[in-house]
Amino acid sequence: MQEAPGFTNDVLRKNKIRQAIVKHFKERECYTMVRPVSDESKLAHVESINWETDALKPEFKRQVTNFVNQVTVKKLKPKVISGKHLNSSMFLTLALEYTEALNSKEAPTVLTALDRVVHAETVKIIDEAFDAFKVELDERLGEDHLPMPADEFKKIIKKSFKAHKIRMQK
């Protein structure tokens, strides 16, 4: 990926984006695809079009299938940023962060984006653990469960955390 020549603010900004992509995505490939539909009004809502219908161009479906096959056949390594492994949800959120930054003509800030992704994932896990905890609490003790002994409370929390593979801090 070559930098654009020149020193205007626009060229410098674009080159900064190029540098960030090259730095953080060592192995990369580019895939081009035809427009999924011809009708502009359908294109604006392409995500709501059912894959099984004939609304999508056959060539687009073929290209998407080829892309998915190429990506899944390769031995993909987990994405690691600053020593943190990203799960699929985190990776997609990070990709959206980058896309939004690029679409708003900003250089993506990797660590800031990663911090937001990790925060969102943490909130999701805590919410899931809390929901499981609440279900467990209601199942064990019914609606009138407070107050309760501290040791009983700790057992329920540990069980909820274990169910969601969350390590408790000592």
For residue 168, pLDDT over 60 is answered with no
Can you tell me the mean pLDDT for 111-138?
A: 74
Instruction: Say what percent of the chain tops pLDDT 90.
Output: 10
What's the confidence (pLDDT) of residue 33? 92
Could you state, in order of their start, the residue ranges of all structural domains in the chain? 1-30, 36-76, 78-170
Instruction: For residue range 18-35, list pLDDT tens digits in order.
Output: 888 888 887 777 888 999
Comparing 15-24, 121-130, 145-154, the range with the smallest average pLDDT is: 145-154
Can you tell me the mean pLDDT for 69-98?
A: 76
Q: Please state, in angstroms and rounded to a whole number, the distance separating the CA atoms of residues 96 and 159.
A: 34
3-state DSSP call for residue 52? Answer: coil
For residue 170, pLDDT over 50 is answered with no
Q: Are 97 and 113 in contact (CB under 8 A)?
A: yes
Q: Are 49 and 55 in contact (CB under 8 A)?
A: yes
CB atoms within 10 A of CB 86: 19
73-84 exposure pattern, b = at least 16 Cβ within 10 A, e = fewer:
eeeeeebebeee
Q: Are 83 and 111 in contact (CB under 8 A)?
A: no
56 vs 127, residue with greater confidence: 56
Q: DSSP code of 58? A: H
Q: Is the pTM of this model over 0.85?
A: no
- Can you say whether the dihedral through the CA atoms of 53, 56, 62, 65 is positive or negative? negative
